Amino acid sequence: MKQYHHLCCCVFTCSKKLVEGGQVAMQWELKNTWPTKITSTDLKSDGNEVAVDTLEMAHEQLIITNGS
């Protein structure tokens, strides 16, 4: 059973560090975010695939900033 709960006033921030020294190269901030779909890979016991989970999210605002 899948359960989704509406999240109000939720801020999701994802930063990607691509520069040496640990500086943030780019940052994505999603405001008022909630999950809309979650999918997983069907794995077989005798297979060698890589597991991939996907989380799709709806949001009311997206702010993308470059590192300083």
The string of pLDDT tens digits covering residues 3-44 is 444 444 455 666 566 666 777 777 788 888 888 888 888 888
Full-model pTM: 0.54
Residue 17 has what pLDDT?
61
Residue 20 has what pLDDT?
65
The string of pLDDT tens digits covering residues 33-57 is 888 888 888 888 888 888 888 888 8
Report domain extents, the chain. Answer: 1-41+51-68
Q: Which whole number is the average pLDDT over 61-65?
A: 84
Distances in Å between the Cα of 47 and the Cα atoms of 13, 40, 43, 61 are 34, 15, 7, 40
